[in-house]
Amino acid sequence: MAGQIPDLHASVRTGTGKGAARQSRRKGNVPGIVFGGDIAPQPIEIEFNKLFQLLKAGRFKSTLFNLKVEGQEDVRVICRDVQRHTVKDLPTHLDLMRLRRSTKINLFIPVEFLNEETCPGLKKGGVLTIVRPEVELIVTAGDIPEKLVIDLDGLEVGDVITISSVDLPAGSRTSIDRDFVIANVAAPSGLRSSENEEDDLAVEEGQRRSGRVIFLLLNKFKTLSELMGFFLFNVIGLFLIKSAFNFTPARLVYFYVTFCWSWESRRKIRP
Higher pLDDT, 107 or 239: 107
Residue of 106, 10, 108 lying closest to 60 (CA atoms): 108
pLDDT at 31 exceeding the cut of 90: yes
Q: 216 falls in which pLDDT band (50, 70, 90)?
A: low
Share of the chain above pLDDT 70, in %: 69
Q: How would residue 244 be classed by pLDDT, with cut points 50, 70 and 90? A: low
Range(s) of the chain covered by CATH 2.40.240.10 = 7-99
103-117, 129-143, 178-192, 202-216: least confident range = 202-216
CATH node for 105-187: 2.170.120.20
In DSSP terms, 65 is beta-bridged to 77
**CB 111 within 8 Å of CB 136:** no
- 188-208 per-position pLDDT tens digit: 766 555 555 555 555 566 556
Enumerate the CATH 2.170.120.20 domain ranges in the chain, comma separated.
105-187
Is residue 82 within 8 Å of 94, Cβ to Cβ?
yes
Sign of CA dihedral 217, 218, 222, 225: positive
The distance between the two most distant Cα atoms of the chain, rounded to a whole number of Å, is 109
Pairing of strands 42-47, 148-151: unpaired
241 burial level (CB within 10 Å; 0-12, 13-18, 19+): middle
7-99 maps to which CATH number? Answer: 2.40.240.10
Closest CA to 62 of 117, 135, 119: 135
Q: Please tell me the predicted confidence (pLDDT) of residue 84.
A: 92
Q: Kindly indicate the confidence band of residue 184, based on its pLDDT and cuts at 50, 70 and 90.
A: very high
Would you place residue 76 in the very low, low, confident or very high pLDDT band (cuts 50, 70, 90)? confident
